[in-house]
Amino acid sequence: MTSGEGEMTTVEQGPKRLTSGPGTLLVWFYGVMVVGAVSRSAYQIATEFDRAPLAYSLSAVAGVVYGFITYTLVRGGETARRVAQVCCAAELAGVLIVGTWTLVDSSAFPDATVWSDYGMGYVFIPVLLPISALYWLRKAPRQQEG
């Protein structure tokens, strides 16, 4: 932006996004997972919820978690980084708990969730994504806020 006298002035920028380098790929994958998990669970909840309410509800929760992580990665800043780390750790715990649960007691899940069998129905992306995100959030360049 220039002033009336031809001097250059800088525009104050917001927090640096966590989407540089591998962060761009993470946002893309999380965005795809949001669409997949939310659309799948919305359809299943609307049409056959009584068949597997736990599985369909967990898929909806996964979609919300994916959406929140996507938002924090795009939002950027150190606060968003910390929130994303907590959410990714919770996501990984969910994948490991639900994945193990589906292997130990498959009768509890008459239909699969996004996290069933550690995300096998989604090419194991649900278990690999939070691990990759946690690594990136730890290694991505830091910045000062505010």
pLDDT, tens digit (0-9, with 9 covering 90-100), for 11-37 = 445 555 666 778 889 999 999 999 999
pTM beyond 0.75, yes or no: yes
- Percent of the chain's residues with pLDDT above 90: 60
Residue 146 has pLDDT above 70, yes or no: no
Alpha carbon 116 to chain centroid, angstroms: 16
Confidence of residue 121 (pLDDT cuts 50, 70, 90): confident
Confidence of residue 6 (pLDDT cuts 50, 70, 90): low
Residue 9 has pLDDT above 50, yes or no: no
Backbone angles phi, psi at 43, to 5 degrees: -65, -50
The HSE-up count of residue 13 (CA atoms within 13 Å, CB side) is: 9
What CA–CA distance (Å, rounded) separates 21 from 12? 23
User: Beta strands of the chain (E only): which ranges?
Assistant: none
Helices (H), the chain: 22-48, 53-75, 78-104, 125-139
Nearest-5° Cα angle at 117, 112 to 121 = 60
Q: What is the pLDDT of residue 10?
A: 43
